[in-house]
A = this chain, B = another copy of it.
C-alpha cells in the first residue's frame, strides 16, 4: 500500500494581454511595451468600477488604481442584471469611456461581453474579454470569444463544478484561442452572511488540473467591502495568479454593487500589502508593462 500521489500538475502557462490600443500578442518575441502577463511568477491586480457610469467616474477610478499599482483596468459597459428594469450599462458609449480611461492611465482593460453579436464591437476596444459567471455555459458566446483571438477572462458559474469550468474553457480553446484566464468568484451556498461562498480551495485544485492562469474575484464573492482585502490576501496565499476587484470613488453612489466596492485609499493599502507578501510566494506584483518581461522569462 502506498501513499496516494496525485499526478504532477501541468506546467503553468503565461497568458499575455495586449496594450490598451489593442495590439494582440501571441508569442513572447512580439510582446509589446505595455502588455500585461498572467502567470506563475507574477500576481496581477485588475481593478476598476463594477459599471461604467460617467466619464468622470471611470477616469478618476482608472487613474487612482493605476497610481496604486493595478496592472489592468476593469469596468462594465454591458451589464448582466437580474432584472430588465435595472441599469443595464452604457453599452457602446461605455466602451469608448473605458478606452479613453485606458489610454489616460496606461492600463489595458477587460470588460464583459454578453451577446455573441457584440463580440466584434467589444474586441475592437478591449484588451481582454470577460465571460461572466451567468454566461459560463453560454456556448455560443464562448465560441465567439474563442474566434475573436482576444484573451478571455472566464468566470466560474455560481453553481459550476470545476469540471464544468474546465469544459467551458475548452469551448474557447477549441477555437484556437489558448489565451484563457480562469476566475473563481464564489458559488451559491446556504448562508446569507456573504453574497456567494468564495471557494479558494478551487485555486490549488484547478492548479492540479490545468496550465491556465487562475484569478480570484473577492468583490463579487463576498459582496462586502470589509471582507475584500482579507480574501485578496488569502487568494495570493492559496496560489492565485491575481485578483480582480471593484473600486469606486464614491461607493454609496454606485449604480450597481456599491456595497462591495473598495475606496481608492483601501485599494492603495491592499496593493501595498500584496506587493509585500508576493515574494513569499515567489511572485512579484505585475506591473502594467510586465508582459514583455514575463514573456521573455
Minimum Cβ distance to chain B for residue A246 (Å): 14
Report how far A251 CA is from B5 CA in the complex, Å: 11
Q: Which residues of B contact A60 (CB under 8 A)?
A: none
Segment touching B, from A10-18, A31-39, A43-51, A154-162:
A154-162
Minimum Cβ distance to chain B for residue A29 (Å): 30
Query: Whose C-beta in chain B lies nearest to the C-beta of A83?
Result: B167
Scan A179-220; emit 1 where CB is below 8 A from any B CB, else 0.
Answer: 000000001111111100111111111001000000000000
Query: Whose C-beta in chain B lies nearest to the C-beta of A281?
Result: B233
Segment touching B, from A91-99, A137-145, A287-295:
A137-145
Scan A218-247; emit 1 where CB is below 8 A from any B CB, else 0.
Answer: 000110111100110111111100000000
Query: Whose C-beta in chain B lies nearest to the C-beta of A232?
Result: B237
How big is the A interface, by class?
35 or more
Segment touching B, from A63-71, A103-111, A113-121:
A113-121
Q: Are A230 and B203 closer than 8 Å at their CB atoms?
A: yes
Report how far A164 CA is from B253 CA in the complex, Å: 24
Q: Are B227 and A233 closer than 8 Å at their CB atoms?
A: no
- A277 contacts chain B at the CB level, 8 A cutoff: yes
Q: Which residues of B contact A134 (CB under 8 A)?
A: 137-138
- A297 contacts chain B at the CB level, 8 A cutoff: no
> Interface centre among A200, A201, A233, by most B CB within 10 Å?
A201
Q: Are B114 and A259 closer than 8 Å at their CB atoms?
A: no
Q: Which residues of B contact A168 (CB under 8 A)?
A: 82
Chain A residues near B (Cβ < 8 Å): 1-4, 6, 80-85, 114-117, 134-135, 137-141, 143, 157-159, 161-164, 167-168, 170-171, 174, 187-194, 197-205, 208, 221-222, 224-227, 230-231, 233-239, 250-253, 259, 263, 273, 276-277, 280
